[in-house]
Amino acid sequence: MRTVDYASFNRPCIGERVSGDVAFLAERDGVVFAALVDVLGHGPHAHELARRIEHFLEASWSPDIVTTLNGLHADIKGTRGAVAGLGCLDIETGELRYAGVGNTTIRRFDPHAERLYSVEGIIGAHMRDPVEQNLKMAESNVVVLHSDGIRENFEPEEYPQLLYQSARSAARNIVHRFGKTYDDAACIVLRYKR
């Protein structure tokens, strides 16, 4: 039986009590949905928009990630805006679909790192049409989705435990090890198991 161990960790930048990042996870009908959203700026105003985005995702997420991204763009039009990466993992087939706008990062480790890319733009302001990309997950593959509050190109050898720890431990450790203190930092980890 195929399963997915998934978890997130989110912390505000130094000097703030709340984060403008959203790390949203949901599971329905054999699909795990993951959304990493980074509202522009930080502090209470960014946090307020982050909560609005989280409520939108709770009510409106769909395995059609491009439609979900376009819906989010329409919902927060005229706000300070955000960048986002959305992924959908079919638990049975191991197919991961991803679409992103802006500088969120998604990487698969197995143990080498492979990265998917987001289009340029800002959700709620101006964005290019999102492009769906696909990855096929194999046993024990780990996917990491994170905001730009985490160093972009950490290598597997800098954190070899990533391939073995629980998703909860890995998400927390990535933020602690590679997070930038001057920015909000959020991370989602998905571990695919057969």
| pLDDT per residue as tens digits for the range 73-113 | 999 999 999 999 999 999 999 999 999 999 999 999 987 78
Rounded to a whole number, what is the distance in angstroms from the first to the last CA of the chain?
6
Cα distances (Å, whole numbers) of residue 128 to 70, 104, 120, 132, 174: 10, 15, 6, 12, 30
The secondary structure element, H or E, covering residue 10 is strand 3-11
Domain ranges of the chain: 3-193
Tokens of 4: 């997915």
Q: What is the largest CA-CA distance in the chain?
A: 45
DSSP state of 153: T
Tokens of 159: 């954190």
* pLDDT band for position 155 (cuts 50, 70, 90): confident
Is residue 91 within 8 A of residue 4, CB to CB? The reply is yes
pLDDT of residue 53: 98
Half-sphere exposure of 180 (CA within 13 A, CB side): 12
pLDDT of residue 153: 86
Homologous superfamily of the 3-193 domain (CATH): PPM-type phosphatase domain (3.60.40.10)
pLDDT of residue 113: 82
